[in-house]
Chains A and B, each alone.
Chain A
Amino acid sequence: MIESTLIMILIALAMWIFARSRGDDSVRRGVNVGWQTLKRTLLLLLIAFVIVGYVKVLAPQDLVRSWIGPESGLRGVLIGTIAGMLLPGGPYVVFPLIAALYQSGAGLGPTLAMITSWSTLALLTVSFELPFMGWRFSVLRLSLGLVAPLIVGLIGWLFIAG
């Protein structure tokens, strides 16, 4: 956790220096955009961590393990994929939740499938896609998108975790 924090701070520092070198108000605008995002998402973030806390203390580890544990195989990857589609909200809500499940015993394959399927197939996102792209495009993209979590989950399960 400390290494991750240091890496992120270094990246922020590097970008800060780069933004400064442009000699305009990039730094100020960048900090402002970050701050606005933080303000907008703070409530969601707080709720997400309340949920994370309860998932942690309530997590029926046996249940998590048997549904999406390291031994759950293809079925776990499928369940992870479906769960990812249903997860609501942006990254600040979804990532802590998935992390909590991972720490409660979810396997690598199902976890990766969940992250990927939330990224490519989230139903809330599709509701934005339809009005702009039409259902034909959505059907085509979603059928390709469905391949992604399955591949990622299977690779995680077969080659990395086990």
Chain B
Amino acid sequence: MKRWIPDRTTLFLIAVAIALAGLAWLRGGFPLVVDGLSSGAGKLLQVTPLLLAAFLVAGLTQVLVSRQVIERWLGSSAGWRGILLACLGGALIPGGPYVYYPIAGALLRSGAGLGVLVAFISAKNLWSVTRLPYEFALLGPRLTLIRYAVTFLLPPIFGIAAEAGFGSKIDGIREAMR
């Protein structure tokens, strides 16, 4: 599973790129095909230094924040404090969905509350510290700042809303996953 999905994505994206090149060919012949390639290459060259620094920042973040520490924090916390800690843990935890969903699943099985789980995943989605450098590098400071500012309160709100509205359903959810 870990290998399978990125592969599909790659294949899909290659197909999209080829389709777009074909479309360029139909629209403007060979010159437009070259135009598209050189436009993409130009853009890539422009962001390369920024991107290299972003990869370095993301790499160092992953080493400085260990996964075990976050798991330990969240396993033993509940209530408001738990939801806030879950937000922090979600923001700091590195890696893609194949990393944080297994952790969330383990937390679910070991008794974490619904609010904690929702807050953890929402914070990973909206506050991710390891994604921040890429967002900054590729989308620019303005979009990134606005996006983080506007979504800043959502992870704790989602956690609290989930706990308040459906907190009692967690046992059913847990049972179903056994």
Contacts and interface: CB of A to CB of B under 8 A. Distances in A.
A and B associate: yes
Nearest to B142: A108
B13 A136 contact: no
Nearest to B23: A58
Interface residues of B, number: 84
Contact of A47 (B13, B27, B105): B13
B64 A19 contact: yes
B148 to A, nearest CB: 10
A142 to B, nearest CB: 10
A16 B59 CA distance: 10
Given A5-B49, A124-B5, A46 B139 contact: no
Given A141-B121, A156-B150, A132 B143 contact: no
Contacts of B154: 147-148, 151
**Which of A34, A56, A120 has the most CB atoms of chain B within a 10 A radius of its CB?**
A34
A134 B108 CA distance: 10
Interface in B13-43: 13-14, 16-17, 20-21, 23-24, 27, 32, 35-43
A7 B145 CA distance: 14
Interface of B: 5-6, 9-10, 12-14, 16-17, 20-21, 23-24, 27, 32, 35-44, 46-47, 49-64, 96-98, 101-102, 104-105, 108, 114, 117-118, 121-122, 125-126, 128, 131, 133-141, 143, 146-147, 150-151, 154, 158, 161-162, 166, 169, 172-173, 176-177
Interface string A81-95: 000000011111101
A145 to B, nearest CB: 7
Contact of B150 (A91, A125, A129, A155): A155
Listed from nearest, the 7 A-B pairs whose CB atoms lie closest are A53-B40, A34-B59, A132-B105, A95-B138, A30-B60, A54-B20, A33-B59
A144 interface: yes
A36 to B, nearest CB: 8
Contacts of A56: 36, 39-40, 43
Given A8-B137, A11-B133, A34-B58, A51 B5 contact: no
A127 to B, nearest CB: 7
27 contacts: A4-B136, A8-B50, A8-B137, A16-B56, A30-B59, A33-B58, A38-B55, A44-B6, A44-B9, A45-B51, A51-B17, A53-B37, A54-B17, A54-B24, A54-B36, A58-B32, A91-B138, A112-B146, A119-B125, A133-B105, A136-B169, A137-B114, A141-B158, A144-B158, A148-B151, A148-B154, A160-B146
Nearest to A111: B143
A34 B142 CA distance: 25
Give the secondary structure class of A's interface. helix
B120 to A, nearest CB: 10
Contacts of B131: 91
B29 to A, nearest CB: 12
B121 to A, nearest CB: 6
A48 B13 contact: yes
